[in-house]
Structure 1
């Protein structure tokens, strides 16, 4: 059963400026995400950061919690070896997802300086 659906859009140009500040990186991205971003070239770094940020906001919308629901670094968006994105939840977000028996689906896209994300939260899928 679908618990929630969220969608968000983020401007990679705005993210490009923000990710130059370590305080922003620490506030928004988990250490694993920061390592992912650091390994990318400048253009891909901003697009990937924007896509991850959009995914976090889409998750919060799908969960119905709003921006104060969970700490952003608890909602790490990582990549499988194939490049497919997935959430690696920690802390309160992981506990909440386990209580709800959630499967989290995420899709990311970026084009012409914009990044988008769609998140579907599904209960009882396992």
Structure 2
């Protein structure tokens, strides 16, 4: 059963500017995500960061919590070897997902400087 859905859009150019601020990077991205971003150069870094940021916001919309729901760094968006994105949740976000028996699904895309994320929270009942 679907618990919630969320979508969000983020401009890679805006994210490229934000990535210049270490405090922003530390606040928004987990250490694993920071490693992912550091492994990508140039425009790929900003596109990946924008897609991850959009996924975090889409997750919060699907959860119905809004921006104050969980720490953004607790919502890690990583990539499988195939390139498919997936969430790794920690802290209160992980506790909430487990308490509600939810499975998060995420799809990402980017083109022409925009990144889009779509999240479905499936209730595992």
The TM tier, using the shorter chain, reads: over 0.9
Q: TM-score if structure 1 supplies the norm length? A: 0.98
Q: Tell me what 1:88 maps to.
A: 88
Moved over 3 A (4+): none
Q: TM-score, normalised by structure 2?
A: 0.99
Find the counterpart in structure 1 of residue 46 from structure 2: 46
Q: CA deviation at 1:102?
A: 0.7
Aligned to 1:97: 97
Q: Which runs of 5+ in 2 are unaligned?
A: none
For residues 83-126 of structure 1, give each alpha carbon's deviation from its aligned partner in whole angstroms, at most 9, with x where no partner exists: 1000000000000000011111100000000000000000016x
2:30 is aligned to 30
> What SS class does the counterpart of residue 110 from structure 1 fall into?
strand
**CA deviation digits over 1:67-91, x for unaligned, max 9?**
0000000000000011100000000
Secondary structure of 1:86's counterpart equals strand
Query: What is the match of residue 109 of structure 2?
Result: 109
Partner residue, 2:15:
15
Q: Answer yes or no: is 1:70 the counterpart of 2:70.
A: yes
Looking at structure 2, the residues matched to 124 and 31 of structure 1 have their Cα atoms a distance apart, in angstroms, of 29
Paired residues, number: 125
* SS in structure 1 of the partner of residue 47 of structure 2: helix
How many angstroms does 1:20 deviate by? Answer: 1.1
Q: Aligned partners of 1:23 and 1:42: how far apart in 2?
A: 20
